[in-house]
Homo-oligomer: A and B are copies of this chain.
Amino acid sequence: MLRDPEASPLSIELIVVTPHEFSKAHIALISCRSFQSLDYDNIENHLFLEEERRMGHMSFRCLEISRWVICGLIGVLTGLIACFIDIVVEKLAGVKYVVVKKSIDKNTEIGGMCISLILWAALNSAFVMVGAIIVAFFEPIAAGSGIPQIKCYLNGVKVPRVVRLKTLMVKVCGVICSVAGGLAVGKEGPMIHSGAVVAAGVSQGRSTSLKKDFKIFEYFRRDTEKRDFVSAGAAAGVSAAFGAPVGGVLFSLEEGASFWNQLLTWRIFFASMISTFTLNFVLSIYHKKTGELSSPGLINFGSFDLKYNIYEIPLFIVMGAIGGLLGALFNVLNYWLTIFRIRYVHRPCLQVMEAMLVAAVTATVSFAMIYFSNDCQPLETQKSSEDYSLQGFCADGEYSAMATAFFNTPERSVRSLFHSPAGTYKLETLGCFTLVYFFLACWTYGLTVSAGVFIPSLLIGAAWGRLFGSMGVLTTEEQAGKDAYQHSRFYFAGGIVRMTLSLTVILVEATGNVTYGLPIMLVLMTAKIVGDYFIEGLYDVHIKLQSVPFLHWDAPATSHSLTAREVMSSPVTCFNRVEKVGTIVDVLSNTSTNHNGFPVIIQTAPGKLCGLILRSQLIVLLKHKVFVERARSRLRQRKLQLKDFRDAYPRFPPIQSIHVSQDERECMMDLTEFMNPTPYTVPQDTSLPRVFKLFRALGLRHLVVVDDDNRVIGLVTRKDLARYHLGKHGLEELHLAHT
Contact of A505 with B258 at beta-carbon distance under 8 Å, contacts A518-B293, A698-B697, A710-B708 already known: no
Q: In the assembled complex, which residues on chain B have CB atoms less than 8 Å from the CB atom of A295? A: 515
Query: Of A308-316, A387-395, A419-427, A592-600, which stretch is located at the interface?
Result: A308-316
> Are B260 and A44 within 8 A (Cβ)?
no
Min CB distance A287 to B, Å, is: 14
1/0 per residue, CB under 8 A from B, across A682-714: the answer is 110111001001100110000000101110000
Q: In the assembled complex, which residues on chain B have CB atoms less than 8 Å from the CB atom of A472? A: none
**Is A49 on the interface with B (CB-CB < 8 A)?**
yes
> Are A277 and B518 within 8 A (Cβ)?
yes
**Residue of B whose beta carbon sits closest to that of A505:** B246
> Are A501 and B269 within 8 A (Cβ)?
yes
Assembled-state Cα–Cα distance A525/B68 (Å): 12
**Residue of B whose beta carbon sits closest to that of A42:** B690
**Is A31 on the interface with B (CB-CB < 8 A)?**
no
Q: In the assembled complex, which residues on chain B have CB atoms less than 8 Å from the CB atom of A687? A: 44, 49, 52, 678
Give chain A interface residues in 595-635, CB to chain B under 8 Å: 602, 605, 608, 610
> Are A310 and B294 within 8 A (Cβ)?
no
**Is A474 on the interface with B (CB-CB < 8 A)?**
no
Min CB distance A557 to B, Å, is: 4
- Please tell me how many copies of the chain the complex holds: 2
**Is A273 on the interface with B (CB-CB < 8 A)?**
yes
Query: Of A53-61, A340-348, A408-416, A431-439, which stretch is located at the interface?
Result: A53-61
**Residue of B whose beta carbon sits closest to that of A558:** B57
Give chain A interface residues in 79-121, CB to chain B under 8 Å: none
Of B52, B260, B273, which one neighbours A517 at CB under 8 angstroms?
B273
**Residue of B whose beta carbon sits closest to that of A680:** B694
Of B553, B683, B706, which one neighbours A261 at CB under 8 angstroms?
B553
Min CB distance A490 to B, Å, is: 15
Min CB distance A268 to B, Å, is: 9
Q: In the assembled complex, which residues on chain B have CB atoms less than 8 Å from the CB atom of A44? A: 686-687, 690
Give chain A interface residues in 220-260, CB to chain B under 8 Å: 243-246, 249-250, 253-254, 257-260
**Is A659 on the interface with B (CB-CB < 8 A)?**
no
Query: Of A369-377, A506-514, A664-672, which stretch is located at the interface?
Result: A506-514
Contact of A309 with B296 at beta-carbon distance under 8 Å, contacts A561-B53, A683-B678, A730-B57 already known: no
> Are A517 and B709 within 8 A (Cβ)?
no
> Are B309 and A292 within 8 A (Cβ)?
yes
**Is A575 on the interface with B (CB-CB < 8 A)?**
no
**Residue of B whose beta carbon sits closest to that of A561:** B53
> Are A513 and B515 within 8 A (Cβ)?
no
**Is A36 on the interface with B (CB-CB < 8 A)?**
no
1/0 per residue, CB under 8 A from B, across A65-88: the answer is 000000000000000000000000
**Is A22 on the interface with B (CB-CB < 8 A)?**
no
Q: In the assembled complex, which residues on chain B have CB atoms less than 8 Å from the CB atom of A260? A: 253, 257-260
Q: In the assembled complex, which residues on chain B have CB atoms less than 8 Å from the CB atom of A23? A: none
> Are A608 and B56 within 8 A (Cβ)?
no
**Residue of B whose beta carbon sits closest to that of A727:** B57
> Are A259 and B258 within 8 A (Cβ)?
yes
Contact of A514 with B512 at beta-carbon distance under 8 Å, contacts A53-B560, A265-B501, A697-B698 already known: yes
> Are B57 and A557 within 8 A (Cβ)?
yes
Assembled-state Cα–Cα distance A501/B262 (Å): 9
Q: In the assembled complex, which residues on chain B have CB atoms less than 8 Å from the CB atom of A5? A: none
> Are B259 and A697 within 8 A (Cβ)?
yes
> Are B508 and A246 within 8 A (Cβ)?
yes
Give 5 A-B pairs besides A263-B554, A293-B308, A677-B685 with Cβ atoms closer than 8 angstroms.
Answer: A246-B508, A258-B259, A263-B553, A270-B521, A291-B309
Question: 22 A-B pairs, CB-CB below 8 angstroms?
Answer: A44-B686, A49-B560, A57-B726, A253-B265, A259-B693, A261-B554, A269-B500, A269-B521, A273-B518, A276-B518, A293-B308, A293-B310, A294-B515, A508-B514, A512-B514, A514-B514, A602-B708, A605-B708, A677-B683, A697-B698, A706-B710, A709-B709
